[in-house]
Amino acid sequence: MSKTKTTRYDVAEHLRTPKEMAAYLEACLEEANGDAAFIAKALGDIARAKGMAQVARDAGLSRESLYKALSGERSPGFDTILKVMAALGLKLHAEASHG
């Protein structure tokens, strides 16, 4: 019997267009339940898809601090989130809740 070789699923490999990146972030925002680290991790997935070094340069951050900020292990500052979103070409927008 041969062994099946599996690899870890990496969502970053499937985020190819700005539209896919925005849709992924939108879905994560809906699922986050106020967990800022979860959103940071989603931004990290998008940044990896786009290229961490380039995103770090565009955001004015070192690659190491970008990795740390978007690891999902902590909540980065809102200024970092805004810089990363701008570097990713994503815009934050508000909409009235239906409540």
Helices (DSSP H) in 51-95: which residue ranges? Answer: 52-59, 63-69, 78-88
Global pTM? 0.85
Return the H-helix or E-strand segment holding 52.
helix 52-59
Please answer whether residues 61 and 69 qualify as being in contact, where contact means their C-beta atoms are separated by less than 8 angstroms.
Answer: yes
Q: Residue 27: which of 42, 10, 45 has the closest Cα? A: 42
Q: How confident is the model at residue 31 (pLDDT cuts 50, 70, 90)?
A: very high
Q: How confident is the model at residue 1 (pLDDT cuts 50, 70, 90)?
A: low
For the stretch 41-58, pLDDT in tens is 999 999 999 999 999 999
Please answer whether residues 26 and 32 qualify as being in contact, where contact means their C-beta atoms are separated by less than 8 angstroms.
Answer: no
SS3 55: helix
Radius of gyration of the chain (CA): 15
